[in-house]
Structure 1
Amino acid sequence: MSDPKSDLRARMRALRATLAAAAPDAGTRLALPLSPRIVAGYRPFRDEIDPLPLMLKLAAAGARLALPVTPPRDQPSSLTFHAWSPGEALAAGGFGVHEPTGGEVVIPDLILVPLLAFDRRGHRLGYGQGHFDRTLEALRKTGAITAVGLAYAGQEVAGLPDEPHDQALDAILTEKEYIRVRKD
């Protein structure tokens, strides 16, 4: 019997690749109605929407930038975020994602989250490792954090299966709109 999330991941990877090819400049069209102090983005993996243009806009408005560092595969712990500036060294981490090789560990107030699919309830489909769910759960216990999923508009689905450990996003930002989920 197949796993519904695994099947959906495979379909959404293929769809995202098509969307990325059709809109290679989508990252330049992102605009966020927030003013974070520290924004944690990510370096795009495969055909994820590129957050760098948005991160540069936020940095120009005074935000510090950070990138995640993934724990080793055998340690199911949270991501850590390291201060980063464009041009600073990055190295391939355990999953092949480019990560900072140093930098001060920081606690962001805004996290830009990659995804394969999203729904209007703020649920996201990731790669199934749980890194962002564990990280958001831990950070939400310690203070205010805003999690914004970045996606192509075409990655929206009517509804996603969710489990008790899944952490909902506060908003989703596409090249076409800002979808606010959290009501406070």
Structure 2
Amino acid sequence: MLKRAGDISAQKSGLRAMARERRAAAHAACPDAGARIAANLLHSVPLPDGAIVSGYHAMGDEADPLPSLLALAAGGHSLCLPVTPKRGLPLSFRLWRPGDALEPGVWDIPVPPASAPLVDPSVLLVPLLAYDRAGYRLGYGGGYYDRTLAALREKGRGKAAVLAIGIAYAGQEVESVPREETDQRLDWIVSEAGAIRTDG
């Protein structure tokens, strides 16, 4: 018997508190996780030449993608950062280079200024609360990355047009993330312990 979307949403809500605790513990246990993640990403995940890579500004105890972004920029990739829109819409992305000024966005998350060019990334580094090896992630409940990946994949005519990489601590892995029809799979999960190619 298929579970209703409301039941799955309730399951996700119940998991978030536990996932936040596990992420906080993983963050405290591995202060150099960002550098380890960068090494694993560069070593294990093949990125398209010239791909525009979207990162994010780590908040609180999120796994930090900045070392990865700096290494990718040094390797010739252009970078961008997401800008949170009104609820119900996908993210937009503004070009960003290391050292460029940022300004407060929604929830005071730093974003490039409105004068920065809008771009469509072909690689996304994605934050999360929990993940499973099938490539599903537990996010914060807003659905922004699911809508964004769906829109970019539709625009690029297929999943292969966009590479979605979850950035996480190994301790955030769970056996199975409750999933809805609108949930988009990640192609890779990269943590301080290694890189997982999902079966998505």
TM-score range, shorter chain: over 0.9
Are positions 1:58 and 2:72 aligned together?
yes
Deviations 1:42-69 (A, max 9, x none): 0001110110101111111110010000
Aligned to 2:94: 82
Pairing partner for 2:32 from 11, 22, 25: 25
Question: For residues 65 and 79 of structure 1, what CA distance do their matches in structure 2 show?
Answer: 15
Larger helix share, 1 or 2:
2
Contact kept, 8 Å, 1:35 with 1:58, in 2: the verdict is: no
Amino acid at match of 1:50: D
Pairing partner for 2:193 from 165, 176, 179: 176
What's the offset of the Cα at 1:97? 1.7
Question: For residues 175 and 43 of structure 1, what CA distance do their matches in structure 2 show?
Answer: 18
Amino acid at match of 2:151: A
Contact kept, 8 Å, 1:115 with 1:125, in 2: the verdict is: yes
What's the offset of the Cα at 1:3? 2.3
Aligned to 1:6: 13
Aligned to 1:109: 122
Question: For residues 10 and 101 of structure 1, what CA distance do their matches in structure 2 show?
Answer: 33
Contact kept, 8 Å, 1:55 with 1:65, in 2: the verdict is: yes
Question: For residues 182 and 57 of structure 1, what CA distance do their matches in structure 2 show?
Answer: 27
Pairing partner for 2:83 from 63, 69, 82: 69
Question: For residues 199 and 78 of structure 2, what CA distance do their matches in structure 1 show?
Answer: 24
What's the offset of the Cα at 1:87? 1.8
What's the offset of the Cα at 1:182? 4.5
TM-score (norm 2): 0.86
Within 5 Å, give how 1:40-59 maps onto structure 2: 40-59=54-73
Deviations 1:84-126 (A, max 9, x none): 0122121222223221113111111100000000000000000
1:86 match: secondary structure: coil
Deviations 1:15-59 (A, max 9, x none): 111111111110101232223421000000111011010111111
Aligned to 2:103: 91
Amino acid at match of 1:16: R
Which ranges of 4 or more aligned residues in structure 1 deviate by more than 2 Å? Answer: 33-36
Deviations 1:105-157 (A, max 9, x none): 11111000000000000000000000000000000011100000000001000
Which sections of structure 1, spanning at least 5 residues, go unmatched?
A: none
1:105 match: secondary structure: coil
Contact kept, 8 Å, 2:133 with 2:199, in 1: the verdict is: no
Question: For residues 165 and 24 of structure 2, what CA distance do their matches in structure 1 show?
Answer: 21
Give the paired residue count.
Answer: 181
Which stretch of structure 1 is more off in the superposition, 147-156 or 36-45? 36-45
Contact kept, 8 Å, 1:81 with 1:108, in 2: the verdict is: yes
Identity of aligned residues (%): 51
Amino acid at match of 2:102: L
2:99 match: secondary structure: coil
Are positions 1:154 and 2:171 aligned together?
yes
Pairing partner for 1:123 from 131, 136, 140: 136
